[in-house]
Structure 1
Amino acid sequence: MNLKRAIAALWAALCFVGALTLLPGNGQAQDIQVKGAMEILRSMTDELGPPKIEGTDMVAGKKVPVLYFGSTKMNNNFDVVDKVVEQAGGTATIFVKSGNDYVRIATNVKAADGTRAIGTILDPKGKAIQSINKNEAFYGDVVILDNPYTAGYEPIRDGSNQVIGILYVGYMK
């Protein structure tokens, strides 16, 4: 009788360990979460129409280009980024290219004072901008305004395939 219990306990332990190895680790789970959130953000912006730059506008005291998806102006418009977070959690941002910088024009990433970090720029020395400058997406760990995140960044291209902005989603670590 004790042998049957020992075998059953050993079998249960082996099944538990096996199940744990099949489940994604926290890093893998966050990667999957980031890619899912990016798909939501991308589909929401695609639904609005093609991206374009038209004119300039003030965002947190900075004069920057105005980014549109279709006829929907993104500067200072938080509807899309907030809907992404409602559906997927985390944070979301839309950046516009302004000179050599990428400026947050719609975000729910918080600044140190707790307000939306609009008007702040993507770290010009960070890993993400290196990929964006090569016209490539970036997925991985980054530091945003002194906080660690697992994140995804994808270039926004206009009709002539020029990078005019960035879509971002991320989860604080």
Structure 2
Amino acid sequence: MDRIKVSMAALKAKTAKLGPPKIEGTAPVAGKDVQALYFGTTKMNNFFEVVDEVVKENGGTATLFVKNGNDFVRVATNVKKDDGSRAIGTVLDPNGPVFPMIQKGDAYYGDTTILGKPYITGYDPIKDASGKVIGIYYVGYLKG
């Protein structure tokens, strides 16, 4: 769990350096239009530098999700699909343990399954200036 906290702190620090989080317009991710997540003037949709830096320094995986309707969509991630491609455009499992916590504006730290594989994870809500949940910070390590 210590590794999770270190990785989460790194992800939050790197995004905070860019500026405050906000939603502005839409941008395509994996062929579908979703809300565009920004930190300052940097659009996170399809921008992998931050998540890749966190993983280079701490190992594991990292993702930024944006709230899009009732879903949370991966817009920047290094979680891989079975074919080895980045799992952008995939959504947070609405039936998993994380979804209800984030909906309430709370963090989730613990085990969960991502695209069929077991991970030890941390999910923290991304909130805009008004305190509304607009996305999720995620870090995790494959178990086993």
TM range (shorter): over 0.9
Task: Find the counterpart in structure 2 of residue 76 from structure 1.
Answer: 46
> What fraction of aligned residue pairs are identical, expressed as a percent?
61
1:92, CA displacement in angstroms?
0.1
Runs of 4+ in 1 over 3 A off after TM superposition: none
1:110 corresponds to 2:95: no
**Which TM-score applies when normalising by structure 2?**
0.98
1:41, CA displacement in angstroms?
0.3
1:62, CA displacement in angstroms?
1.2
The CA distance in 1 between the partners of 2:99 and 2:57, in whole Å, is: 26
Task: Find the counterpart in structure 2 of residue 100 from structure 1.
Answer: 70
- Relative contact order, higher structure (CA 8 A, sep 6+): 2
AA aligned to 2:131 is N
- Aligned with 1:141 (options 70, 89, 111): 111
**Which TM-score applies when normalising by structure 1?**
0.82
How much is the aligned-residue C-alpha RMSD, in angstroms?
0.4
The CA distance in 2 between the partners of 1:117 and 1:73, in whole Å, is: 18
Gap runs ≥5 in structure 1: 1-30
Task: Find the counterpart in structure 1 of residue 98 from structure 2.
Answer: 128
SS in 2 for 1:87: helix
CA-to-aligned-CA distance 1:71-122 (integer Å, 9 cap, x gap): 1110000000000000100000000000000000000000111100000000
- Aligned with 1:155 (options 94, 119, 125): 125
Structure with greater strand share of residues:
2
AA aligned to 1:153 is Y
Gap runs ≥5 in structure 2: none
AA aligned to 1:52 is K
Tell me how many residue pairs correspond in the alignment: 143
